[in-house]
Chain A
Amino acid sequence: MKIWQYIVRRLLLLIPVLFGVTLITFTLIQVSGDPAAIYYTKGMPPQKKAQIRHEMGLDQPIAVQYVLYLQRLLRGDLGVSSSQADLPVTECIKLFFPATFELATVSMIITIIFGIPLGIVSAVKKDRFADHLTRVFALAGSSLPIFWLALLLQQVFFYIPYTYGPPNGLPEGWYLPYDGRYTTMLYFTHPVISEGGPTGFLTIDALLVGDYEVFWDALKHLILPSICLSYASVAIVTRMMRGSMLEVLGMDYIKSARAKGLDEKTVINKHARRNALIPTTTVIGMSFAGLMTGAVLTETVFSWPGLGRWSTLALLTRDIGGIMGFTLFVCLIVVIANLIVDILYAYLDPRVRLE
């Protein structure tokens, strides 16, 4: 099978998944009560209520309502988010997505930079001190409540240096900011923040405009949330990389590479690592779902103005439109991420396509 055939087949498999997800959100909206309730006023006559329900298509059979719902979704009408002053959900996503995407991208970079080398070191030094240390680090990553880690980071990097530093306060840069995307005061003096830039990434926009003050400020604000968000995925990637590296290192072609006298560095970097990376790419892609989940918790603690904080607000205020829009959007992102991973995997490991 050619690679494009594989891609087409994978795309077709997406349809039932997306269909199922809309069915879930539709069911949840139905369960949550009368969608027209927000338009009712006190003492409204029943005829008026019935008219509103009729206008919204709520008096039709459930299957027809579902089709209407799908039609609205396909038109890009995801409803309104009551927690954001009835802003359309699509507008909310446009507003909040860049912040989350920036955080997720930085966390992804941290995951790749730290996860893969840690896994390799752990596998090469198997059962030695470095290995034990890495394994404990990775195990802790899968058990640590991410919201609690966020609080600990705030405690260690903001509260302790801020309180126990010299009496006049520490010089700028000795403690890290613990909430938001930028220092609030900068909002009024720097148009990059208030007007936004072409990419939506505050750090990149600031660089494009040449506003280094905002760049440093945004970068400092990114440090704690991205460390917090990436820890779990670093742990997963480290474990996976260690496992696949150990498997590859036991293979015959590694033995023959060693036997023909290659030095260990070449064996590991050129022969073993490349093949060990193949299963790890899958895990990195899958960890994108984990990052979206983590973003909900991290953004809540760090007051990061992204999708996650929006969803928390929606949860607390029972904003059905907002939370369902968020769920659909995250699902779409995760499904697309998995698709890219599968295609990449088929490209890296041609055996997959033969199945």
Chain B
Amino acid sequence: MEIEKENDETSRAEHSKPEICMSKYENANKEKVKNENVTKNGIKKRDEESSFIRSLKPKVREFKRTIYMFRQSFLAMAGLSIVIFYLIVAALAPVLAPPEENQKDVYQRKVHYDEMHKDPSPEHPFGTDSMGCDVYYGVIWGTHISILMGTVIVGITVLIGSILGAMAGYFGGKLDDILMRITDVFLSLPSLILAMAIVVSLGRTLENIMFALIIVWWPAYTRIVRGQALAVRENKYVEAARAVGASEARIVWKHILPNCISPIIIQATMDFGSVVLTAAALSFIGFSYAGATTTEWGMMVSAGCRDITSGQWWTATFPGLAIFFFVLGFNLFGDGLRDLLDPRLRR
């Protein structure tokens, strides 16, 4: 860290003396640029090219520094490793837990009434449940459903929330008032309970659970982006863009939104875990035995709920562990990203 800091200070000193700074960069780049020129087409490149590289330099350095700082944090790296692990498991699911013969839907486990409540064994690493379904198969294929749910819900809420938020923050006035009153209403309600009400009125299916969570979740992003947009719109470059005649839509899309991106990324990473957690909770209370064969973690825990007091601990434990580490991974990763991207917490 100490060396990092020193480097930083020297680089700042360089910026204050442009001539020295330039010559230094040129020296550093000389060999590289030369080599590139020779290998490409034998013609010496113009000076503009090297000035472009020069302008990229600070960005590259900043990026390297970011990576360095991220790697310094043990918890953030642990989070990233968990996330990558789940992605690999999801990708390798057909290899790790091949579907049985004549199984129509990979997300519906096959029922084997002759193999009920089997202890964990090499054949069934996580045992079998009260319908003879393999718990290991469910846990592995559950990653697919969880990642899918997280991506769809977070993706759509981020899109809706940030566009509305940027508009509210940028245009202000009536639109802002109305949008903020609406978000007030949504944010004052516990999300799980509102989602429950929506699921009841639409019917209990996985699609409706996702739909309910989208309806419940977007106001959070609207709030965040609106706050950021309020600050961004005061900047000179927004004024400049307006002065050269850029349309309002272009300003929002090209200038406001990109500058709100880091809080959105942080929140989205954290939410990826909590969305999956809430969806699991909803399917836990909403399906009970109804969805016992589905490879969704919440439903699997709910199917194993009554087994606990009769001794079959494995049916609920393994899917629960899967949820726990999934959410933990995204929370740690999000925490690490926040430490990085939030300049107030730097150093």
* Chain A interface (Cβ < 8 Å from any Cβ of B): 16-17, 20-21, 23-25, 28-29, 31-32, 139-140, 142-148, 151-152, 154-155, 158-159, 163, 178, 289-290, 292-293, 296-297, 300-301, 311-312, 314-316, 318-320, 323-324, 326-327, 330-331, 334-335, 338
Contact = CB atoms under 8 A, between A and B. Distances in A.
A331 B320 CA distance: 29
A23 B184 CA distance: 13
Given A20-B181, A24-B185, A311-B196, A290 B328 contact: no
Contact of A16 (B181, B280, B328): B181
Interface string B286-317: 10100000000010011011001101010011
Contact of A315 (B194, B196, B302, B305): B196
B191 A293 contact: yes
Interface string B190-204: 111110111111111
Contacts of A301: 305
Given A142-B327, A148-B316, A159-B308, 15 more contacts: A20-B184, A25-B197, A28-B197, A32-B200, A32-B201, A142-B331, A147-B301, A148-B301, A151-B320, A155-B313, A163-B311, A293-B190, A296-B285, A323-B197, A327-B197
A20 B182 contact: yes
A296 to B, nearest CB: 7
Of B193, B203, B298, B327, most A-chain CB atoms within 10 Å: B193
8 contacts: A17-B188, A24-B194, A32-B201, A139-B328, A143-B327, A292-B190, A315-B285, A330-B190
Q: Is the interface of B mostly helix, strand, loop or mixed?
A: helix
A139 B331 contact: yes
B163 interface: no
B201 A29 contact: yes
B64 to A, nearest CB: 25
Contacts of B191: 293
Nearest to A16: B181
A327 B189 contact: yes
B79 to A, nearest CB: 10
Contacts of A319: 200
B277 A155 contact: no
B309 A178 contact: yes
B145 to A, nearest CB: 15
B25 interface: no
A183 to B, nearest CB: 16
B253 interface: no
B342 to A, nearest CB: 13
Contacts of A17: 181, 184-185, 188
A315 B331 contact: no
| Interface size range of chain B in the complex | 35 or more
A154 B309 contact: yes
Interface string B203-214: 110000000000
A145 B324 contact: yes
Given A21-B189, A323-B196, A143 B309 contact: no
Contact of B200 (A145, A148, A151, A314): A314
Contacts of B201: 28-29, 31-32, 320
Contact of B189 (A146, A318, A334): A334
Contacts of B198: 28
B284 interface: yes
B332 interface: yes
A296 B308 contact: no
Given A145-B320, A145-B324, A297-B281, A154 B308 contact: yes
A145 B302 CA distance: 12
A244 to B, nearest CB: 14
Interface in B258-295: 273, 277, 280-281, 284-286, 288
A327 B184 contact: no
Contacts of B324: 140, 143-145, 148
B237 to A, nearest CB: 29
